[in-house]
Amino acid sequence: MTYHKSMEYYKKVEGKDSIICLLCRHSCKLKEGQVGICGVNKNVDGELKTLVYGHPIALNVDPVEKKPLNHFLPGTKVLSFGTVGCNFKCPFCQNWDISQEHTINEEIKVSPEQMVELAFEHGAKSIAYTYNEPTIFYPYAKDIGVIAKERGLKNIFVTNGFESKEMIEDMVTWVDAANIDLKSWDNSYYKKILKGGLEEVKDTLKRIVKLGIWVEVTTLLIEGDNDSDETLKEMAAFIANDLGTSVPWHLSAFSPNYKMLDHDSTKIETLERAKLIGKKAGLKYIYLGNVPVHAHTYCPACNHLLIDRSGYTVTMNHLHDGQCPHCQESIKGVWS
């Protein structure tokens, strides 16, 4: 089946057999036969070929709260999948065994139509492009997402925020929600350690919010790396002032993984300190992750308990048409 795409995923370099990949901000210039930084997009006969197209490596049915999204169809199931490859090199990646892998299992074949059928079979209300960086398998993700949207499902992008500007403009046609990582407030850390860029991620966040895609931000707090009061104040101020005080901020605890096995786990006190800083900056919804605390949603106006969560399970939802039943405050999110 041929899919209609409204964006070109690459552009040709004049007078040469090279192309420039337009999927992410690395803008890899690829000669014939060359593969990009992500390891899965290749110049084949002067065109960009996404080598993982149709070949997911991880596939699960999750609660949407696990993405994490707390203001998007709470209590519903989401079909989540990812492929191999990534455009970042985070030393703390919890899915490093797939994200830093470039060997593709071509025996696993799932077409866009089959992926959407799987979502319906499992009673999912949405599909999440996650586990590794979905930007790098965008042509596959979009073909699934367009069919999903036509059939009444919603689409969730769980991303490091390094999308190209062209792709962000294209995402608005089919993506409903995004959880975007704000991993650090240090540009040199982003560039040297993660192989990304802070300014680009900030720009992506602003663009996606402006386009009206529902956004929640996640920061994995690593003690000694990104948890100073000054860093947290600047991050919180950026979210509040540039994205909006109703954008939820998920503060997640780090646990030793991949290349950071000798680093301490994040203490709950560190998360609580960050939460307090976020509240002082005016953020209305702050959630703690990877720790045994309840991620309840409270009304920012009257502090009435709106959504009761135990782990990833919604045990009670008092929201009425997106409003607090107690004081009628409008609670930002996607509720149906």
Question: pLDDT digit string (tens) for 267-279?
Answer: 999 999 999 999 9
Place of tokens 């096995």: 261
Banded model confidence at residue 17, pLDDT cuts 50, 70, 90: confident
The yes-or-no verdict on residue 304 having pLDDT over 70 is yes
CB-CB contact of 53 with 25 (8 Å): no
Rounded Cα–Cα distance for residues 106 and 275 (Å): 44
pLDDT of residue 316: 97
Banded model confidence at residue 14, pLDDT cuts 50, 70, 90: confident
The yes-or-no verdict on residue 171 having pLDDT over 60 is yes
Banded model confidence at residue 62, pLDDT cuts 50, 70, 90: very high
Angle between helix 138-150 and 112-121 (nearest 10) = 50
Place of tokens 């646990």: 255
Banded model confidence at residue 253, pLDDT cuts 50, 70, 90: very high
Contacts of 133 (CB under 8 A, 6+ apart): 24, 38, 85, 86, 87, 88, 99, 159, 160, 162
Q: Are strands 154-159 and 177-181 parallel, antiparallel or unpaired?
A: parallel
Question: pLDDT digit string (tens) for 209-234?
Answer: 999 999 999 999 999 999 999 999 99
Banded model confidence at residue 1, pLDDT cuts 50, 70, 90: very low
In the predicted model, what is the mean pLDDT of the chain? Answer: 96
The yes-or-no verdict on residue 6 having pLDDT over 70 is no
Banded model confidence at residue 37, pLDDT cuts 50, 70, 90: very high
Q: What superfamily does domain 58-293 belong to in CATH? A: Aldolase class I (3.20.20.70)
pLDDT of residue 64: 98
* Among candidate residues 107, 147, 1, 127, the one with its CA nearest the CA of residue 64: 127
Order of strands, edge to edge, in the sheet holding 214-221?
A: 58-63, 77-82, 126-129, 154-159, 177-181, 214-221, 249-253, 286-289
Banded model confidence at residue 33, pLDDT cuts 50, 70, 90: very high
Positive or negative, the CA dihedral 263, 264, 267, 273 is negative
pLDDT of residue 283: 98
* Among candidate residues 327, 322, 332, 312, the one with its CA nearest the CA of residue 68: 312
The yes-or-no verdict on residue 3 having pLDDT over 70 is no
The yes-or-no verdict on residue 166 having pLDDT over 70 is yes
Domain ranges (residues) in the chain = 10-44, 58-293
Question: pLDDT digit string (tens) for 97-136?
Answer: 999 999 999 999 999 999 999 999 999 999 999 999 999 9
For residue 325, is the peptide bond before it cis, meaning its omega torsion is within 30 degrees of 0?
Answer: no
pLDDT of residue 69: 98
